Amino acid sequence: MNRDFHNLVDVEGLTADEQARLERVHDLLVAAGPPTELPSGLERPPAQVIEFPVWRRRRLVAVALVAAVTVAVAAFGGGYVVGHENGMHVTQVIALHGSQNELASLRIGESDSVGNTPMILTVTGMPKQGDRSYYELFTWRDGKLGFPCTGFRVVGDKTTVHFTVPYELKPGTQLVITRINRGEVEWPDRAGHVIMRSV
pLDDT digits (tens, 9 = 90+) for 87-123: 788 888 899 988 888 889 999 999 899 989 999 999 9
116 and 47 in a common domain = no
95 and 171 in a common domain = yes
20-44 as b/e, with b when 16 or more CB fall inside 10 Å?
eeeeeebeeeeeeeeeeeeeeeeee
Residue 123 is predicted with a pLDDT of 93
Residue 3 is predicted with a pLDDT of 65
The percent of residues above 70 in pLDDT, for the chain, comes to 66
Res. 127 pLDDT band, cuts 50 70 90: confident
Q: Is the pTM of this model over 0.75?
A: no
186 and 121 in a common domain = yes
Q: Is residue 163 part of a domain?
A: yes
- Residue 76 pLDDT more than 90? no
Model confidence over 131-164: pLDDT tens digits? 778 899 999 888 888 888 998 998 888 899 999 9
Residue 191 is predicted with a pLDDT of 64
Range of the domain at 4: 1-51
- Residue 15 pLDDT more than 80? yes
56-90 as b/e, with b when 16 or more CB fall inside 10 Å?
eeeeeeeeeeeeeeeeeeeeeeeeeeeeeeeebeb
Chain mean pLDDT for the chain = 76
The residues with which 135 forms a beta bridge, in sequence order, are: 152, 179
104 and 9 in a common domain = no
Pairing assessment for the beta strands 174-181 and 133-141 based on DSSP bridges:
antiparallel
Q: Is residue 184 part of a domain?
A: yes
160 and 110 in a common domain = yes
Q: How many domains does the chain have?
A: 2
97 and 33 in a common domain = no
Q: Phi-psi region for residue 66, left (φ > 0), alpha (ψ -120 to 50) or beta?
A: alpha
